[in-house]
Structure 1
Amino acid sequence: MTTIQSFEGPSCPLPLQHNETIVMGHGSGGKMTQDLIKNVFYPYFNSTPLSEGNDFARAALPESANLKGRLSISTDCHSVSPIQFPGGDIGKLAVCGTVNDMCMSGALPLYLTAGFILEEGFPIATLQQIVASMAAAAQEAGVAIVAGDTKVVEHGKADGVYITTSGIGWIPESRTIGGQYAQPGDVVIISGSIGDHGMAVLTARGDLGFEADIQSDVAPLNLMIANLLQAAPNTHVLRDPTRGGLATTLNEIVQQSGVGMILNETEIPVRPVVRTACEMLGFDPLYVANEGKLIAILPAAEAQAGLQAIQDSPYGDQAAIIGEVVAQPLKRVLLRTEMGTTRILDTLAGEMLPRIC
């Protein structure tokens, strides 16, 4: 964000004028930009590094790091239509998406930055709602938003608002987790029902000809992961099955690790309303996006302890063991169907659900 000298942020958001919208002057770098930052961003993103008013953030590593371990760094661009949907909005999505990506390394998430592309004419009241949502998600995840930037483009050159978030976390020295570490004999766990986010966004567009009570699952998963790693410290892989869904994500992992996987269709949790919506629209829930779900791949000896830790965590009550890692078929994901047949789950080809994250 543009530097503001000697700024003292207000303790609560300032009142907005009725129907006030973003104009090109908000991206000028001058007084209007400073007013936007003071009145919309700073009241919510009230971290010490940000309040210093510099074009950078000075931020400390946790005391427990003791200069050991590694950094986990992630960045995401977010574009979703509609920008507000049941269970969340683009702001919550931006924070949770980056927090979760950092956590998939086993990291403790620490800091976020946020960049905004705003379209001329975008309602400032809506922007304030999005920023409030980001602040709430960051508080739940225990991270600070410490730096950012705002740009404004002409009307018609964007779709309301785009958000880019980057994150920095700390990985303890003893922790090595990644998609390349799955081993034959490992167990595959999913932390809950799949397909909720993609179908929530799609139904929120209101052009499907039917209504369905589907809430997005967007949520920060760092507490769940901390509990899991305490119970199952030898976990090999963590991954959030976002774009491309469960099937595509598992295909990425078998390619990285050079192994195979066999899943049991009857064990994969799908909410009845999501399954019905997918059937009506011709979608496969295995390929629908999620934003608050976790794949954990861990040794069989720790599977039950890990499963229980996930189930006891926020957002993990529907967690289930859904399959196993095998040596053959190499780099393939197979599904044992309800009919007793075996189906190859391939990587998603093309775009199933546009603009969902």
Structure 2
Amino acid sequence: MSTVKPGYARPLDLRKGRVDLAFGAGGRAMAQLVTELFARALANDYLERGDDGAVLPAPGPGERLVMSTDGHVVSPLFFPGGNIGSLSVHGTVNDLAVMGARPLYLAAGFILEEGYPLADLARIVESMAAAARAAGVQVVTGDTKVVEQGKGDGVFITTTGIGALPAGRDPGGARARPGDVVLVSGRLGEHGMAIMAQRESLAFDSEIVSDSAALNGLVEALYAAAPADAIRVLRDPTRGGLATTLNEIAAQSGVGMELDEVAIPVSPQVRAACELLGLDPLYVANEGKLVALCAPEHADALLAAMRAHPLGSEAARIGIITADPQHFVQLRTGVGGRRMVDWLAGEQLPRIC
């Protein structure tokens, strides 16, 4: 739960205001809701860091734990490349992994709607189990609730994860420095556009398939390729996409960023779908990609490690960290110009994770 303050215009109206979809989109409105309501009321040192999980003290000397939780309300529940079951595992495993932790255990909470077909529920649970086995984690506890027909949307899943953080690892959104390099592990926007293409019945020469995957193996490959302190920041650019993720890091670290549009990998199918729907792939959600900000002298080794892993074969160096008191993220376009890459404003793709 990020506690970054992205510079919104006016405070929330906590007396008369109402929840809207933008509060769950991962952009400026969501950051404002978290900062002004949840983080203010629940304030503690762990929340203040604003990262994807909390590093917690463990019983033994020198040990550290990481804990993270996430709710999953994707629509449709089944999509090319996965379903809400596998997605719920991947989402929490990835939140732990980008904290530098080795994911160990998950808890799962299910909210089921009366009348939902048991055959479909079985497919979801079996997919969840397969994803957990592949990621090397166990679902060790859980809870199930059923709501009346019409009061839910089939299945909602919340997963909470616990991971072990090895000594020396401390990636965090506040650690980026001018001169650091921005790497991305592959093509952007595939999850969000797979959901949207199915929802809108869009047909392309090649089907757009969600990139939903567990990233803990890729993260371990990165730590094997460079000193731990060379990896400044790791993030999985989910809701709000790459653009919002990088704005969040820029605000946390007090830096700016300069990106190269030509270097950012996007598949022709995703680019075409975004053009058709009037969307920007930089703001479209991913569920199997990571962003790594690293020391420049180790960028080549880390990029090579990404490309040697099955989930990073199309990894790219896409930008550099700059000294900028305004914390702007800027894009050098393919025609030689520049444009601002701001936080996501409003709701771009509803119910994608």
Quick check: 1:107 aligned with 2:104? no
1:339 equivalent among 335, 339, 348: 335
TM-score (norm 1): 0.80
Letter matched to residue 263 of structure 2: E
User: Tell me, which stretches of 5 or more residues in structure 1 are unaligned?
Assistant: 1-64
Asked if residue 271 in structure 1 is aligned to residue 267 in structure 2, the reply is: yes
Q: Deviations over 1:68-113 (max 9, x none)?
A: 2311100000001110000010011100000000111100100000
Whether the aligned pair in 2 keeps the contact of 1:203 and 1:211 (CA below 8 Å) is no
Q: Is the 8 A contact 1:69 1:174 kept in 2?
A: no
Matched, 1:98 2:92: yes
> Within the alignment, does 1:197 sit opposite 2:186 as a pair?
no
Distance 1:125 1:341, change over 3 A: same
Asked whether the 8 Å contact 2:255–2:325 carries over to 1, the reply is yes
Is 1:286 the equivalent of 2:282? Answer: yes
Q: 2:249 aligns with which of 246, 253, 256?
A: 253
Q: Give the secondary-structure state (helix, strand or coil) at the position aligned to 1:106.
A: coil
Q: 1:160 aligns with which of 146, 154, 163?
A: 154
- 1:329 and 1:196 map into 2 onto residues whose CA distance is 33
Post-superposition offset of 1:287: 0.3
Output the CA distance in 1 between the equivalents of 2:234 and 2:350: 25
In 2: Cα distance, 1:209 partner to 1:217 partner? 18
Task: Give the SS at the match of 1:315.
Answer: helix
For 2:231, the equivalent position in structure 1 comes to: 235
Partner secondary structure for residue 218 of structure 2 = helix
What amino acid is aligned across from residue 205 of structure 1 in structure 2? R
Q: Distance in 1 between matches of 2:204 and 2:166?
A: 48
Q: CA deviation at 1:67?
A: 4.5
SS of the equivalent of 2:231 reads coil
**What is the identity, as a one-letter code, of the residue corresponding to 1:120?**
E
**Structure 1 pair 145/318, CA: closer, same or farther in 2 (3 Å)?**
same
- The AA in structure 1 aligned to 2:164 is W
State whether residues 110 and 167 of structure 1, in contact with CA within 8 Å, keep that contact through their aligned partners in structure 2.
yes
User: Which of the residues 290, 308, 312 maps onto 1:312?
Assistant: 308
Distance 1:244 1:209 in 2: 24
Q: Secondary structure at the match of 2:345?
A: coil
Match of 1:76 in 2: 70
Could you say which residue in structure 2 is the equivalent of 1:322? Answer: 318
2:262 and 2:314 map into 1 onto residues whose CA distance is 14
Partner of 1:123: 117
Shift of 1:204: 1.1
Post-superposition shift, 1:232? 2.1
Q: Letter of the 1:285 partner, please give it.
A: P
Report if aligned partners of 2:254, 2:325 keep a CA contact under 8 Å in 1: no
| TM-score normalised per structure 2 | 0.81
Q: How does 1:22-37 map to 2 (within 5 A)?
A: none
Q: What is the aligned-residue identity percentage?
A: 60
Deviations 1:106-155 (A, max 9, x none): 00100000000000010111111111111111111100110000000100
Larger Rg belongs to: 1
- Name the count of aligned residue pairs: 293
Displacement of 1:330 in angstroms is 3.3
Distance 2:327 2:96 in 1: 25
Query: Cα offset for 1:205?
Result: 1.4
Cα RMSD between the aligned structures? 1.4
